[in-house]
Amino acid sequence: MNEMTEGHTVKRFDEEMIFLHRLVLEIGGLAQDQLKRATQTLNDKDPSAAREVISRDQELNALDVQADEELINLIIKRQPMARDLREIITISKAVSDLERVGDEVRKIAQLTIHVYDTDGSPPNKQILRDINTMALFVGEMLEMSLTAFDELDAARALEVIRLDSELEEEYRSALRRLTTFVMEDSRTIGHMVDVVLGLRALERIGGHAKNIAGYVIFLITGSDVRHESLERIEAQII
């Protein structure tokens, strides 16, 4: 963790900030692990493991609630200003995004259940291929955004924002490929909607990683870049 050069006069304030910082990393780590596990359930054709992933989302929800309580207590006690205030806002928003990552991951697990826990025929492997590719991609984005937060690395955060454009392109390509599969083999249409929802969930996870990267830039520079173009964000960082 890249802390400020000097601590607060009130040492307990430092401890509370460090605790919250680590809580974000813990929640982020859990969200990443959930994503990996959900994708694995699809590869392993394991609806039972998928149900475990869905059930484990409760842990993320509980940490989300805990983070909110800690944030409220800190605001009441310390009334953070400037950099501290920006960090508190960043933490609050990042936790909220990570909790939503958990919600999206549930949809991937749900896909496994829909596809492999029904009487119908399992899907052609090819139509699930893009789920794996995109899951790896957004997993990397999530990892980078959390590292950017931990190390206060604006360049890495900028890279995540840049990757989101690639992800959007990847998402559109995946939808085009799916359409082609369905046109070629209409029997795949039964799984089409599930897969589209899965791809959409992954695209949203990438969006949450991008949001976290935006908060990190806000934390470092004080500029709200959420609705700025990549060029403008780059200009602000440089």
Partner 1 sequence: MIVEKTAPAEDASQVIHANFGGTVGDLTVAEPRMTARNVNVHYADKHAIIDVSLDIGRHEVVALIGPSGCGKSTFLRCLNRMNDTIDSCRVSGEIMLDGQDIYDKKLDVVPLRARVGMVFQKPNPFPKSIYDNVAYGPRIHGLAEDQSALDEMVEDSLRRAGLWDEVKDRLQQPGTGLSGGQQQRLCIARTIAVSPEVILMDEPCSALDPIATAKIEELIDELRQNFTIVIVTHSMQQAARVSQRTGYFHLGRLIEVGKTDEIFTNPQHKLTEDYITGRFG
Q: Which of 1, 7, 12, 62 binds partner 1 (CB under 8 A)?
A: 7
Regarding 40 and contact with partner 1 (CB under 8 A), the answer is no
Regarding 2 and contact with partner 1 (CB under 8 A), the answer is no
Pair 145, 216: CB distance under 8 Å: yes
Q: Which of 77, 83, 172, 187 binds partner 1 (CB under 8 A)?
A: 83
Q: How many residues bind partner 1 (CB under 8 A)?
A: 18
Considering only 66-74, 77-85, 206-214, 226-234, which stretch makes contact with partner 1 by CB under 8 A?
Answer: 77-85
Nearer to partner 1 (CB atom), residue 16 or residue 130: 16
Nearer to partner 1 (CB atom), residue 11 or residue 125: 11
Q: Which of 58, 222, 230, 235 binds partner 1 (CB under 8 A)?
A: 222
> Diameter of the chain by CA atoms?
68
Regarding 80 and contact with partner 1 (CB under 8 A), the answer is yes
Pair 102, 57: CB distance under 8 Å: yes
Binding site for partner 1 (CB under 8 A): 4, 6-10, 13, 78-86, 221-222
